[in-house]
A and B are shown apart, each in its own frame.
Chain A
Amino acid sequence: MRLFSVRGGVHLDYRKDRTRNLGIVPLPMPALLYLPLTQHVGAAAEPVVVAGQVVRKGEVLATAQGAVSAPVHAPTSGRIKEITGHVSPHPSGLSQSTIVLESDGADAWGALPAGIEDPFAATGQEIARRVAEAGVVGLGGAAFPAAVKLNLRAGHTVDTLLINGAECEPYLTCDDRVMREYAGEVVDGARIMAHALGAARIVIAVEKNKPEAIKAIANAARPFATMAVAEVPVRYPMGSAHHLVKVITGRETPAHGRTASVGVLVHNVGTARAIHHAVRFGRPLISRVVTVSGGALKSGHNIEVPLGTLVRELIDFCGGMVAHADQVISGGPMMGHPLPSLEAPVVKGTCGILALTADETNVQPTGPCIRCGSCVEACPSGLVPLQLATLIQHEDIDGAAKLGVEDCISCGSCSYICPSHIPLMHYFDYANGRLRVLDRKRKHQEKLKTLAEARRQRLERQAAARAAAKAKSARPAAPPTASAQAQTQTQAQAQSKPVGNSAAAASVTGAPVTGLPVTTATETGAGP
């Protein structure tokens, strides 16, 4: 298969050997599961169970809210202990609304919706509905509701479905294992998605350092003419959707755009497998494969983890810590984020739990920039990180925006390669955070302006209507009798009395109505 080149990127020390040849093992069901209502991008799910209620495995615990959201299901059978605040797997460590499920040990399935016998006879909407009901989100880490992406068909012509098995982050081997052990399920899930999208071609992209996975997928895909396996170069961030699309199809997604705008949709291999389960068997997303690794742990594993399991239990399963962990990370070491606590739960987007020693994180004091240009060479977005960092250090956020800081995909290649250990990506995240705040403020002000303008127009209309009514009653066309005319006049005066304002009078004299809108603008602080 012909591949296209893409700029930038770095060669990482992959450190995958610890877990890549270990099969996926199931985790013994924990006694308590902590299921946050927000495990996905979009609106929080709304609980439909109450404390004390007994639920069966696969039952809906919380339903999706709005267009971009996902439901939460029970990973096992048991009793709802409580719905309470619990530490979220986010660096802030903020408490998050969480359903606590007490396992009864039976692990008994509840009634599931029947699977679709022949998904290739079903409509795209039907498949997307099933995927939405099963609560499937992107399992590569982004956790974007999968059904929303399947519905993109309405607005775009998608000719290629790209299944992302690049797994370019160090340590992580969960996608590798899923492809090796469940190649058939991945291929079937991909075919179902392609059918739903009307995509003629399916490409499964795998980095060359996973020969077993490539072989397994190629074997499973062989019967299907529309499917191809692409061996992509081992270079981070090959798994970035926009860059993978460029490498496979040569099409470059415009800035701020989606890959769908160039006719390609990208899904993770784990997502394909979850969609296979959801559509064929009506099985919701209640567990996922997580790589648990890192030098601080006694052993590493790929574990099929019920959602809501506490990170502490995974660490215990791997024999605990044998060295001081400098950082405990959720996700990969490049784009993952630090976990605030081992009491945080595994959620749908958790692809790895890494306990890393100081040797592995290799944090060093920051030195001066020597302008070596390594970051420029490494940046896959074509930015000049050292110039951006200088601007941001001087709080010139607008200047950084002009140089394209918003195009940063936070892959961390620049920070990784910098010989002076300058936390470049940190600066860009900071700048983009500031830009988002400014953007929110601007939108808020625009909204206020619109509201003020609407109020001004409304008051103007009211005043005009009143004036018109008064003028009409003041100059009747042909009064039948003198007494009737006098009566009408009295009525008109009576009507105008409670209003009795200068606007009505002014409009009669032809002067412009300006008094009220000015006041309005001043009140809301949105004046010009």
Chain B
Amino acid sequence: MTEPLISLRGVARRYPASKGKSSFTAVQGIDLDIAEGSFVAVVGPSGCGKSTILNMIAGLDAPSEGRITVAGETVSGQLRNDVGYLFQKDALLPWKTVQANVELPLVFRRLGGDHRQIAREWLARVGLAGFETNFPHQLSGGMRKRVALAATFVYGPRILLMDEPFSALDVQTRNMMENELLELWQQNNKTVVFVTHDLEEAIALADHVVVLTANPGRVKKRFRVTLDRPRNVNDIRFDDRFRDLHAEIWEALREEVARSYALQRELVHG
């Protein structure tokens, strides 16, 4: 077996107590290997530290315990230059046009080439040719996500971290974006870590689904998704194997959702 591209060993992240808040353990004892070129979805109840894991892999946050390696190098709070990150919230600069937003990572990274041309090509690929001079607020939520996608792909990161990127979109737009993401992923051979709380989305997109426990988050179980590629997320939901997998994984996830709910009630009433 080849060396995994991303590897987490015994990773924990604790936030020390600060004014008015007691200390908080987001994740604990996380062991996770992600092979190059694979699409891994991480699911779990809300508040189980899914985003914390992504932040630590990106280097925006550092583990309090354990070790994270990416391509053999230890990552502990320093940013890597081969990682792209698609956030749940809009992260486009509102004062720059669509075109300028996509060019921005090229400027930041002091990359060569014709920035204008490269950005235009990527905008065309995500179906936004003709919108170059618009400002983000003039676009719909789905279109803004496409811009963000183009701005991430434009500098060719090897790893793509995605934190519930489509959760704010309506169902139709969301399915379209999911299909487009799969297409881009297959053309460009990226390694994707996709965080979501939507199990259907996870199964429809990923090769592996990792289920986390309620707070503090640990890896509960890992499932392999053996559905054929290329997939269409609209049709695949009606596949029998999809339903079996869904039932199987949901069995593992249900307990954790119930526990997380109980924990939250305790917090409110306790």
Chains A and B come from one and the same complex: no
Residues of A within 8 A of B (CB): none
